Chains A and B, each alone.
Chain A
């Protein structure tokens, strides 16, 4: 780190050198130019440090404290309970069936929301990637759900749309002769998913649309001249080119959706019982309603480890695809 001998390993995560070095900024291609003196190293690093130090202090210090809390039996409702119990909290949560069902809900909600929103998003992006009358108006209408405050969208769905007595959805289904359904208490996870998919589809659509519009037109024409039909062109030319955009959408969507709190807090409060609680909501419940600091901290740590492991795999996968693309 201190002397000039190290060269960066661009392949570790893909990234700057290998990707950009091939394009334009040749003078700063990774290997030779990163052989600089310690002074130059610090000069280059200086602009990065404020952001890095800020991020480390604000995110990592609390997390270290979370780990410390997770090793203690600390419940605010039981004064004097604060003592070191080592891994007991961790053992407890793995035996806790609510924790398991909340974890399962987290996975289910994230996967289903990202998947459905992405498929709908691709479909809508294709529909929007043509010129037609009122296209910009349609796009504006379609992106609006993404811009609505999640707390507002949660109340909108639970009260105005899905309410059993005066909700719009039940009125529509009643026109088809279907009986009224108490959505949020009968199908809590589905209700949350509807609100989430509604909110995240525009995000996916915008990303895929950006990808479609960045497509080189000559490639499409070449495919058409070769006699490929629409479907073939889409499957073999467009879709592979959209891959990065799709991966980016899935990754960013997953990061935000896995942390979903507003919709669950406001639409079902995790209920009935704990049927629709995901990990963020359940941990919040244990901490702020159960005052069980040790337990909730241990759950937080487990959640973080699981998220980081899964996300690392995902990130590496994406970086790899970035690299192979540039190699072509």
Chain B
């Protein structure tokens, strides 16, 4: 900016000087803003950093006052967590999250197709119905679900979690996928129709590839919410089907407070979603804004 000004206005040194100083001032302002942004980001991240640091400490270092910032890092806590049987909980979480996400996509794609590309009657009512189920507080239905699951003998069963996680994420997925479908240009669909492509063929060959980024965003958000879900898992599972959050809580309550071990368990529990979210930031933003507001 400064360079163009000075090269273009050699004949007006006064003006140039004032523009220069303005540029310098705004440069100072900009770096102040940048510093502020970095500072806030570090404050927000500090608890996570502290959790990670604590996970690499010995228990005595973890619980020291004042807090220890310099210490000999160790992997003891991670191996303690893993030998405490974390593996089966991770497997359960993986199955419940994976299967429910697949099921959500299988159900949501055709449904949102029906609600956007070829709208059915009462589209808005159906959409409202879907989102209204998200407003149903889960505690209001936990007792009947508990009783029904008990009678069907599916308490402490991953399948139960899969069904519940699917119903938990389906409304959001339908809304998101609908907004992504609406961005598909009408001409493309008309062309497919003229070529005589049926519903399944159009979906498979044209629509799904075109909304693939939206599909990824939807799946990512379903994965986040399913992996992190705690309430159903707490109340409906025990030894066989318990997921990672339940494991985490068992670490907290069963044998007193082991701060470093708890931190290691927290790090391991959060890691898959954090990494997925970091990698797919762009999709995450698109998904969260539901594409709707574009």
Contact = CB atoms under 8 A, between A and B. Distances in A.
Interface residues of B, number: 110
Contacts of A157: 47
A51 B143 CA distance: 23
A119 interface: no
Residue with the highest number of chain A CB atoms closer than 10 Å, among B65, B110, B111, B140: B140
A66 B289 contact: no
Contacts of B143: 65-66, 69, 287, 293, 296-297, 300
28 contacts: A14-B124, A28-B117, A44-B114, A45-B114, A50-B110, A52-B111, A58-B164, A59-B141, A127-B33, A133-B34, A145-B44, A147-B277, A149-B244, A151-B269, A152-B248, A155-B262, A159-B257, A160-B259, A161-B47, A210-B285, A248-B292, A258-B137, A284-B142, A300-B143, A304-B136, A311-B132, A312-B132, A315-B128
Contacts of A128: 37
Interface stretch (A18-26, A79-87, A92-100, A183-191): A18-26
A54 interface: yes
A28 B265 CA distance: 53
A148 B113 CA distance: 32
Contacts of B186: 24-28
B135 A308 contact: yes
B147 A65 contact: yes
A317 to B, nearest CB: 13
Contacts of A26: 186
A127 B270 contact: no
Residue with the highest number of chain A CB atoms closer than 10 Å, among B63, B190, B227, B288: B288
A17 interface: yes
B210 interface: no
Interface string A306-321: 0110011001000000
A123 B51 CA distance: 26
Interface in B237-283: 244-245, 248-249, 252, 257, 259, 262-263, 265-267, 269-270, 273-274, 276-278, 281
A133 B147 CA distance: 56
A153 B117 CA distance: 40
B157 to A, nearest CB: 15
B54 A160 contact: yes
Contact of B110 (A20, A27, A51, A151): A51
Residue with the highest number of chain A CB atoms closer than 10 Å, among B67, B166, B235: B67
B223 to A, nearest CB: 11
Contacts of B33: 127, 130, 132
A47 B203 CA distance: 11
A156 B285 CA distance: 26
A202 B145 CA distance: 33
A203 B288 contact: yes
Interface of B: 30, 33-34, 36-38, 40-42, 44-48, 50-51, 54, 62-67, 107-108, 110-111, 113-145, 147-148, 163-164, 166-167, 170-171, 174, 182, 185-186, 190, 199, 224, 227-228, 230-231, 234-235, 244-245, 248-249, 252, 257, 259, 262-263, 265-267, 269-270, 273-274, 276-278, 281, 284-286, 288-290, 292-294
A151 B230 contact: yes
Nearest to B38: A138
Contacts, number: 328
A16 interface: yes
A144 B274 contact: yes
A100 B38 CA distance: 43
A152 B115 contact: no
B65 to A, nearest CB: 5
Nearest to B121: A8
A62 interface: yes
A134 B38 contact: yes
B50 A160 contact: yes
A13 B44 contact: no
Contacts of A149: 227-228, 244-245, 248, 266, 269-270, 273
A166 B42 contact: no
Given A156-B266, A307-B137, A145 B125 contact: no
B266 A47 contact: no
- Across the A-B interface, give the 9 residue pairs with the lowest CB-CB distance, nearest first: A300-B140, A47-B110, A65-B144, A51-B111, A15-B124, A152-B266, A48-B114, A62-B144, A13-B124
Given A8-B119, A151-B228, A48 B110 contact: yes
Nearest to B64: A166
Interface stretch (A219-227, A232-240, A259-267): A259-267
Contact of A30 (B114, B119, B284): B119
A60 B96 CA distance: 22
Contacts of A37: none
Contacts of A13: 124-125, 127-128
A211 B289 contact: yes
A149 B67 CA distance: 24
Contacts of A140: 278, 281
A45 B110 CA distance: 10
Interface string A200-222: 01110011011100100000000
B119 A214 contact: no
A90 interface: no
A46 B36 CA distance: 54
B164 A150 contact: no
